[in-house]
């Protein structure tokens, strides 16, 4: 006998509760089970709009075990709604394991559109949105951070801790002080703020005091390389080869050299492992 159970992936407001969609509200009212990161936070949304499904904690520490349980409930015919504390589940939030488990089990997965901090920040930044990439949370290590910031691929959108924002902007200002940047803080909330400027300007502004609240950092694309530049060896390649010959790990060494030269760590690594001309 066929079952009608399914998983509903429901984005929730990133700040203002009025941003929830009618379709998400319908899904939350329909679901027998609501898998959420924080039951207290999700209950505020449910009580505001009259939804009363069973709340089940689903977070990074229990998602593998919980995913198995939820798939079994769906296979028995129950409708499960997946929410994160804010925004779209899976986007730097738990949910990937559950969606993969549902797909593997052959149960229906329905994704509803809705609020997204990354998209809101991209548009608010006034930077090009025709080609962009999302980096999730930026790496802590300076070399890895420099490599991410220097990579081509259009406008960069990333989440950043307010306590690390100043250091990230300082690194970017060292790589390219004129790169356009937008710091988007507390989007859709009472104290929403979007600050635009060059990397140098914003590094100076946020060096004095860390901002409060949640931050999305939007960075303009790095300058285009001049024609034929990709045919030239990247700056620092000889130094990278010496480090590797001395016993350093190639990718880690590439990150260090990228930090010092402003080159892309990926480009340095590719040049290192490429066959040398005869």
pLDDT digits (tens, 9 = 90+) for 217-237: 999 998 765 545 556 788 788
Lowest mean pLDDT among 26-30, 172-176, 193-197: 172-176
Question: Is the model's pLDDT at 33 over the cut of 90?
Answer: yes
Which pLDDT score is estimated for 68? 96
Alpha-carbon distance 104 to 120, whole Å? 32
Question: Is the model's pLDDT at 270 over the cut of 90?
Answer: no
Which pLDDT score is estimated for 1? 41
Superfamily of domain 117-219: Tetrapyrrole methylase, C-terminal domain (3.30.950.10)
**Residue ranges covered by each domain of the chain:** 6-111, 117-219, 229-273
Confidence at 149, pLDDT banded by 50, 70, 90:
confident
Mean pLDDT (whole number) for 48-73: 95
Alpha-carbon distance 254 to 236, whole Å? 9
pLDDT tens sequence across 114-132: 999 999 999 999 999 999 9
CATH architecture of structural domain 6-111: 3-Layer(aba) Sandwich (3.40)
Can you state the angle between helices 237-245 and 265-273, rounded to 10 degrees? 60
Closest CA to 66 of 30, 91, 102: 102
Residue 164 CB neighbour total at 10 angstroms: 15
Q: Is 163 exposed, middle or buried (0-12, 13-18, 19+ CB in 10 A)?
A: exposed
Question: Is the model's pLDDT at 275 over the cut of 90?
Answer: no
The reply to whether the predicted model has a pTM over 0.75 is: yes
């Amino acid at each position: 006998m066929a079952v009608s159970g399914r998983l509903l992936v429901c984005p929730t407001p990133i700040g203002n509760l009025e941003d929830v969609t009618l379709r998400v509200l319908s899904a939350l009212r329909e679901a027998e089970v609501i898998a959420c990161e924080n039951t207290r936070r999700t209950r505020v949304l449910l009580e505001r709009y009259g939804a009363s499904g069973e709340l089940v904690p689903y977070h990074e520490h229990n998602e593998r075990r919980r995913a198995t349980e939820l798939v079994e409930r769906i296979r028995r015919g129950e409708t499960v709604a997946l929410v994160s504390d804010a925004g779209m589940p899976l986007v730097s939030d738990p949910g990937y394991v559950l969606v993969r488990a549902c797909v593997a089990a052959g149960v229906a997965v329905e994704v509803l559109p809705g609020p997204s901090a990354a998209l809101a920040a991209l548009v608010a930044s006034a930077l090009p949105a025709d080609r962009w990439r999302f980096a999730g949370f930026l790496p802590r290590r300076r070399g890895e951070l420099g490599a991410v910031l220097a990579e081509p691929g259009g406008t960069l959108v990333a989440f950043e801790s307010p306590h690390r924002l100043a250091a990230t902007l300082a690194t970017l200002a060292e790589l390219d002080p004129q790169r356009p940047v937008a710091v988007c803080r507390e989007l859709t909330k009472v104290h929403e703020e979007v600050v635009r400027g060059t990397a140098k300007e914003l590094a100076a502004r946020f060096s004095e005091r860390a901002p409060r609240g949640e931050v999305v950092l939007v960075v303009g694309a790095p300058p285009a390389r001049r024609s034929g530049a990709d045919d030239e060896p990247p700056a620092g390649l000889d130094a990278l080869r010496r480090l590797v010959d001395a016993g350093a790990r190639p990718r880690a060494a590439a990150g260090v050299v990228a930090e010092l030269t402003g080159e892309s760590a990926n480009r340095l690594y590719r040049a290192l492992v490429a066959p040398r001309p005869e």
